[in-house]
Amino acid sequence: MARHGANVAVNYLGTSQSSLIASLRAAVASLSSSSSSSSPGPRFLARPGDISQRQTSVDFVAATVATFGSLDVFVSNAGVCRFADFLTLPESLYSATVRINLDGAFFATQAAAAQMVSQGHGGSIIGISSISALVGGAGQTHYTPTKAGVLSLMQSTATALGRHGIRCNAILPGTIRTQLNDEDLRDDGKRAYMEGRIPLGRTGVPEDIVGPAVFLACASLSGYVTGAQILVDGGLFVNLQ
């Protein structure tokens, strides 16, 4: 988003993600330093907080508006996934996954939408769901329902917020190499198996999500798109062979 001129605000959990936040801050700063004086570059805001708590989203949106003046695009991206056997899955893991992935998405979307409604000029909300919203996973019985919930949340908020000019859409990533699965994909056998199932022949990287996100964020590109879902999976979902 910053490469396309947007100011960027990020909520993060805390010190465990400090290095990631530092790299994001540096990347945005480099864009700002390369901008002309007549066109200042994007700015960056990072605030720690537990997204499973409603007040975190309320405070985060308020801080974003106080810093940048308005909120025009919101991406709900927080998520956790720890594989576990269904029959022995502890209640604590189930509850934590639902609180972060689904409750957090609901609270964040609600806070962002309330701000956009108050501004009166619409906006774009993007929920990061998953291919797991459409398929099952033996070790993800606590995770897949939350991602199906995010997809449904975007569909329902699209109908609830359309009269305010707010578009709500979902991106469904396939196997994207992130902190969630980096350790798993270090296993050469697992990685080769996954790549063999993907028609494009590789697992994804975070940069693969950028284009779809910018498309959905930009009203001049997707102004008549709401309640939609975009699979970003290298063709994995449609490969039945």
3-state secondary structure of 109: helix
Q: How close are the terminal C-alpha atoms of the chain, in Å?
A: 36
Of 237, 170, 225, 172, residue with least CA distance to 199:
237
Is there a catalytic annotation at residue 193? no
Residue among 57, 76, 130, 147 flagged as catalytic: 147
Alpha helices by DSSP H, listed for the chain, are 18-33, 54-68, 91-98, 104-119, 144-161, 182-185, 188-197, 207-217, 219-222
Residue among 52, 130, 143, 222 flagged as catalytic: 143
Is there a catalytic annotation at residue 30? no
Q: Tell me phi and psi for residue 177, to 5 degrees.
A: -75, 110
Residue with tokens 């004086």: 37
Is there a catalytic annotation at residue 190? no
51 contact partners, CB below 8 Å, separation of at least 6: 11, 13, 57, 78, 100, 104, 107, 108
CA distance 31 to 156: 36
Residue with tokens 């007549």: 38
Number of Cβ within 10 Å of residue 73's Cβ equals 21
Residue among 129, 130, 132, 222 flagged as catalytic: 129
Residues designated catalytic = 129, 143, 147
